[in-house]
């Protein structure tokens, strides 16, 4: 099953399962507050923020809590996830677009014509083919205004044996059994376990950001059981748009 189809098949159970993950929403809020602190617009203007890999809109909600007057453009490649997102209640100016982030530069949607004042992407980069990750970051940067922030959030455990052990235990003792019990696609969550074990190290992600043209890149780990498992990366597009 293709990855987008797997996400679509599990979309109805996705919010339930993430809600059972202690700290999931807390860490989303922490990351979006970091983004909010870096977004700069003229007084009275509504910032435009892209939520890449928005899924069912959980990250969109967190962004709106941090930046209540933002206009959010959510992008995801899984039709079922976007269907779940669109079914929720959103303020005026919130839009969802079906596409892969690798293709955004060629997307004719009028909502994408205005460069964003900030970009947020939770659990996205790991799902981009490894060989395309740096190029994808570079293509995103070229669509951003100079001086605007990018905040990424994703799992990485390659630098810590303890984190690898903890991640495996959580997946097989909690995540996968809960997915089965709720009728979700267990193959998706087996993929989640495997993809995190193979995911880029934090050092590699920082290098990718640098090679993609971002500056002032930094990383911090999460709290609670997510410590050394979940990480938030912050970088700034200091260059000109292509």
User: Model confidence over 162-206: pLDDT tens digits?
Assistant: 999 999 999 999 888 988 888 777 888 898 999 999 999 999 999
Predicted confidence (pLDDT) at residue 241 exceeds the cutoff of 50: no
CB atoms under 10 Å from CB of 184, counted, come to 22
Predicted confidence (pLDDT) at residue 2 exceeds the cutoff of 80: no
Residue recorded with tokens 């696609």? 185
SS (H, E, C) 224-238: HHHCCCEEEEEEEEC
* Structure token pair of residue 90: 């959103």
Residue 96 pairs in a beta bridge with 74
Predicted confidence (pLDDT) at residue 6 exceeds the cutoff of 90: no
Q: Which residues contact 188 (CB under 8 A, 6 or more apart)?
A: 6, 7, 9, 10, 179
CA 87 to chain centre: 20
pLDDT of residue 8: 60
pLDDT of residue 1: 42
pLDDT of residue 162: 97
Q: State pLDDT tens for residues 125-152.
A: 999 999 999 999 999 999 999 999 999 9
* Structure token pair of residue 166: 């903890």
Name the residue among 63, 83, 84 with its Cα closest to residue 73.
Answer: 63
80 or 157: which leads in pLDDT = 157
DSSP character at residue 106: G
Rounded Cα–Cα distance for residues 175 and 154 (Å): 17
**Among the ranges 4-8, 78-82, 86-90, 171-175, which has the highest mean pLDDT value?**
86-90
185 or 68: which leads in pLDDT = 68
Name the residue among 33, 236, 242 with its Cα closest to residue 117.
Answer: 236
**Per CATH, is 3-155+200-237 categorized as 3.40.50.150?**
yes
pLDDT of residue 118: 97
Over residues 16-33, the mean pLDDT reads: 90
pLDDT of residue 7: 67
């Amino acid at each position: 099953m293709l990855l987008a189809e797997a996400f679509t098949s599990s979309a109805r159970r996705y919010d339930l399962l993430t809600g059972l993950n202690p700290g999931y929403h807390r860490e989303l809020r922490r990351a979006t507050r970091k983004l909010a602190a870096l977004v700069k617009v003229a007084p009275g203007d509504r910032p435009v923020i892209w939520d890449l890999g928005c899924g069912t809109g959980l990250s969109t909600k967190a962004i709106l809590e941090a930046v209540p007057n933002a206009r959010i453009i959510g992008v995801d490649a899984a039709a079922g996830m976007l269907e779940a997102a669109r079914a929720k209640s959103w303020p005026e100016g919130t839009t969802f677009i079906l596409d892969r982030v690798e293709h955004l530069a060629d997307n004719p949607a009028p909502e994408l014509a205005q460069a964003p004042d900030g970009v947020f992407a939770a659990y996205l980069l790991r799902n981009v083919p490894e060989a395309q990750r740096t190029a994808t970051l570079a293509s995103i940067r070229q669509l951003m205004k100079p001086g605007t922030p990018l905040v990424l959030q994703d799992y990485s455990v390659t630098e810590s044996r303890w984190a690898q052990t903890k991640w495996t235990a959580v997946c097989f003792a909690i995540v996968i059994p809960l997915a089965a019990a709720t009728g979700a696609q267990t193959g998706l969550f087996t993929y989640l376990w495997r993809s995190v074990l193979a995911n880029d190290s934090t050092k590699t992600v920082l290098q990718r950001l640098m090679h993609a043209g971002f500056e002032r890149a930094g990383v911090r780990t999460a709290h609670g059981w997510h410590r050394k498992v979940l990480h938030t990366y912050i970088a700034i597009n200091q260059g000109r748009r292509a």
